[in-house]
């Protein structure tokens, strides 16, 4: 397999933190490009990479959303649920965005509903109802995290170095399975367990998951006064098929929804449960951090 190319682009950002670099969001897209098994994900990634080269980020982001929408339409096995005109539009759009045109017969079958795309991890699905996500878990407050982990560094708008030596000792670079990441040791250990289970149950999804950043010492976007959970390396932003799900949307790439129970089992919270859904974002809950403290994984200050 060829070495992944270091082309990076930010499609969108977690308001809770900034991805590692300005172009971080798309790095995994190329990395996973050769690994993606999902038939539907391939044209999506191709379409995005194609438009990335010749278009503005805005245009690219828009076309990504249209492609995701088209994939969702064409995945629907119940032809009665999709109006023929919509199916035809979706097939034409996918064909137009794909650098390799669909075979005429396949295009015709997709339009008629005789063929549907296999369910992929990038197609959009509705979020579970509010109040059914993250039950029993609580967002750790900044005051709580400061009390158990200390001040990570300067409260900067963008990522800055950790200045807290104690925290520095707890931060590791870890291969968690689908990617390497930098974060708090017990959090990366949990990610390793999570992705081992995901690999077992959903190898396609495992191959298409990427990271858009974990540790980032900075303030919550738009809030100069408060550290993001990323500042302690206890939260991670994930991509599926190289796509970062935009914030504030109630329809999310299916892969993130499939990942959620695995994170929940390790007491991680899904950002999709926030008032403004932030579905790329998974963070350790207060309950989990308390477990780390009581088990001595985080030594007392």
Q: How far apart are CA 129 and CA 111, in angstroms?
A: 31
- Determine, following the binding rule CB under 5 A, whether residue 41 of this chain makes contact with Zn ion: no
Q: What are phi and psi of 45, to 5 degrees?
A: -65, -40
From start to end of the chain, where are the E strands?
124-126, 171-175, 180-184, 209-211, 235-240, 251-253, 268-270, 281-284
Nearer to Zn ion, 218 or 254 (CB): 218
Q: Which of 9, 14, 40, 244 binds Zn ion (CB under 5 A)?
A: 14
Which residues lie closer than 8 Å to 216 by C-beta, 6 or more apart?
A: 17, 18, 19, 20, 159, 228, 230, 231
How many Å apart are CA 212 and CA 11, to the nearest integer?
10
Pick the stretch among 82-90, 97-105, 151-159, 276-284 that binds Zn ion (CB under 5 A).
276-284
Of 88 and 285, which CB lies nearer to Zn ion in the complex structure? Answer: 285
Only segment of 113-121, 161-169, 233-241, 292-300 that touches Zn ion (CB under 5 A): 233-241
Contact 234, 215 (CB under 8 A): no
Give me the least distance between CB of 255 and Zn ion, in Å please: 16
Query: Which of the stretches 75-83, 138-146, 159-167, 237-245 binds Zn ion when contact is defined by CB under 5 A?
Result: 237-245
Q: Give the pair of three-digit tokens for residue 222.
A: 């738009």
Closest CA to 240 of 80, 73, 125: 125
Closest to Zn ion by CB, 92 or 139: 139
Which one of the spans 7-15, 22-30, 45-53, 56-64 is the region binding Zn ion (CB under 5 A)? 7-15
Minimum distance of Zn ion from residue 16's CB (angstroms): 4
Please give the Cα distance from 204 to 301 (Å, whole number): 42
Q: Does 20 bind Zn ion (CB under 5 A)?
A: no
Show the 3-state SS of 11-38.
CCCCCCCCCCCCCHHHHHHHHHHCCCCC
User: Smallest distance, Å, CB 53 to Zn ion?
Assistant: 27
Residue nearest to Zn ion (CB): 14
Site of tokens 């038939």: 39
Exposure of 93 in the CB half-sphere (CA atoms within 13 A): 21
Report the residue count for the chain.
301
Among 9, 17, 219, 240, contact with Zn ion (rule: CB under 5 A): 17
Q: Identify the DSSP state of 139.
A: P
**Given the complex with Zn ion, which of 17 and 187 has the nearer CB atom?**
17
Q: Which is nearer to Zn ion, 18 or 49 (CB)?
A: 18
Size of the site for Zn ion (CB under 5 A): 5
Q: Which of 48, 274, 281, 292 binds Zn ion (CB under 5 A)?
A: 281
- 132 Cβ contact partners less than 8 Å away, ≥ 6 residues apart: none
CB of 31 to Zn ion, least distance (A): 19
Instruction: Check binding of 237 to Zn ion (CB under 5 A).
Output: yes
Nearer to Zn ion, 9 or 17 (CB): 17
In this complex, which beta carbon is closest to Zn ion, that of residue 20 or of residue 87? 20
149 interacts with Zn ion by CB under 5 A:
no
Total Cβ atoms within 10 A of residue 43: 22
* Contact status: 16 vs Zn ion (CB under 5 A): yes
For binding to Zn ion (CB under 5 A), which residues are involved?
14, 16-17, 237, 281
């Amino acid at each position: 397999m060829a070495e992944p190319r270091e082309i990076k682009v930010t499609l969108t950002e977690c308001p809770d933190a900034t991805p590692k670099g300005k172009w971080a969001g798309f790095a995994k897209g190329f990395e996973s490009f050769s690994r993606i098994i999902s038939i539907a994900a391939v044209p999506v990634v191709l379409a995005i990479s194609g438009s990335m080269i010749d278009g503005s980020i805005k245009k690219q982001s828009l076309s990504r959303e249209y492609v995701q929408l088209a994939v969702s339409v064409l995945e629907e096995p119940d032809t009665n649920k999709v109006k023929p005109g919509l199916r035809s539009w979706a097939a034409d759009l996918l064909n137009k965005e794909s650098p390799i045109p669909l075979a005429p017969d396949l295009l015709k079958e997709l339009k008629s509903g005789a063929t549907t795309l296999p369910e992929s991890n990038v197609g959009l699905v509705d979020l579970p109802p509010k109040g059914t996500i993250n039950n029993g878990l609580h967002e750790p407050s900044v005051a709580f995290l400061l009390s158990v982990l200390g001040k990570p560094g300067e409260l900067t708008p963008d990522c800055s170095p950790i200045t807290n030596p104690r925290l520095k000792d707890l931060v590791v670079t870890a291969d968690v399975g689908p990617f390497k990441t930098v974060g708090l040791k017990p959090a990366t250990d949990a990610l390793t367990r999570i992705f081992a289970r995901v690999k077992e149950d959903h190898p396609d999804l495992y191959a298409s998951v990427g990271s858009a950043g974990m540790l980032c010492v900075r303030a919550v976007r738009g809030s100069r006064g408060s550290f993001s959970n990323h500042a302690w390396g206890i939260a991670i932003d994930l991509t599926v098929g190289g796509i970062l799900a935009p914030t504030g949307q109630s329809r999310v790439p299916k892969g993130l929804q499939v990942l959620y129970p695995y994170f929940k089992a390790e007491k991680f919270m899904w950002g999709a449960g926030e008032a403004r859904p932030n579905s790329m974002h998974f963070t350790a809950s207060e309950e989990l951090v308390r477990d780390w403290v009581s088990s001595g994984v985080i030594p007392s200050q």
